[in-house]
Structure 1
Amino acid sequence: MALSIATTLLLGAAAPAPNEGGALDIAFTGLRSAKGVVRICLVQDPSDFPDCREGKGALKRTLPAANPRIRLEGLAPGDYAIAAIHDANGNARLDTVLGIPREGFGFSRNPAIRFGPPRYKDARFALGADAQMQQVRIRYLL
């Protein structure tokens, strides 16, 4: 009996831990071409939104524009916002002309774009323990 209990404990310890946290599927629509990459930034801190440059807690990913879908797993429940650019020329930045983006961009919840990027609260969504889907529409101004 002691051997049976010890074996059960050892096998239980060797089993992989269940995936903790939520999963987020992100799909991008409206890309003009399959050239370049889509750069995404997932943040919880409003001060890191939308540019994500100094975001210590920000999750940054790059994916091919030819297959603009990604699944992120193990995310802590809470509020998040996504900012994305279609970096068609692969230079790791959003190209602009007189401050107007020349490349595509998008945000979670697809808020209206007025003068400048939306505020965090307009792109914010809640992520729980269940998997969630966000569809981000890439927009072009030029």
Structure 2
Amino acid sequence: MQVVKTSFLTAACAASTLLSTPAWAAGEQPSGGTSVTVVVSALASTSSAVKLYFYNVREKFLTHGGYAFMRVVKPAGQSQISLPVDLPNGEWAVAITQDTNNNDKLDKNMVGIPTEPFAFSNNVRPRLSPPDFEDCKFVVSGPGKVVTISLTR
């Protein structure tokens, strides 16, 4: 059975408006993992929600409801956020959006390109299609991992 990857735009919009049942309950993160800090910089707004979608299954990357868990963080007046999470050892990727107009979705233009900031782990900058898990993945194998991501405006 072949999994068809939807665009990041479609996946992010759907995930931000309708949370399907992830591997962990919404707002929770896996337990028994390794402490990882995700630092997101170049925020477009110091007050708008930043949504982080964590993926650990290659075939589910950027598919509707395919994330393992997600977190929503308010920057509280800062232009950068730092989010500590516990992740089981293995390969992970993160997709991030910032809802600058607070309408709880990722806005896009007429051709489907996001008009609000977004980013992927490893600072992958897709041009004409969504990135692959392989490009965005990072390996968690011990304590002290820091993943730094800069938003695209």
TM-score between the two structures when normalised by the length of structure 1: 0.76
Structure 2 partner of 1:103: 116
| Offset, 1:58 | 1.0
Write the mapping of 1:100-139 to structure 2, written as runs, cut at 5 A: 100-139=113-152
CA distance in 2, matches of 1:121, 1:30: 24
Q: Which secondary structure does the structure 2 equivalent of 1:65 belong to?
A: coil
CA distance in 1, matches of 2:97, 2:55: 15
The count of residues paired between Structure 1 and Structure 2 equals 119
1:84 matched to 2:104? The reply is no
CA distance in 2, matches of 1:112, 1:105: 10
Higher fraction of strand: 1
Structure 2 partner of 1:26: 38
Identity of aligned residues (%): 26
| Offset, 1:77 | 0.4
Structure 2 partner of 1:63: 73
**TM-align CA RMSD:** 1.8
The question of whether the paired residues in 2 share the 8 Å contact of 1:36 and 1:89 is answered with yes
TM-score between the two structures when normalised by the length of structure 2: 0.71
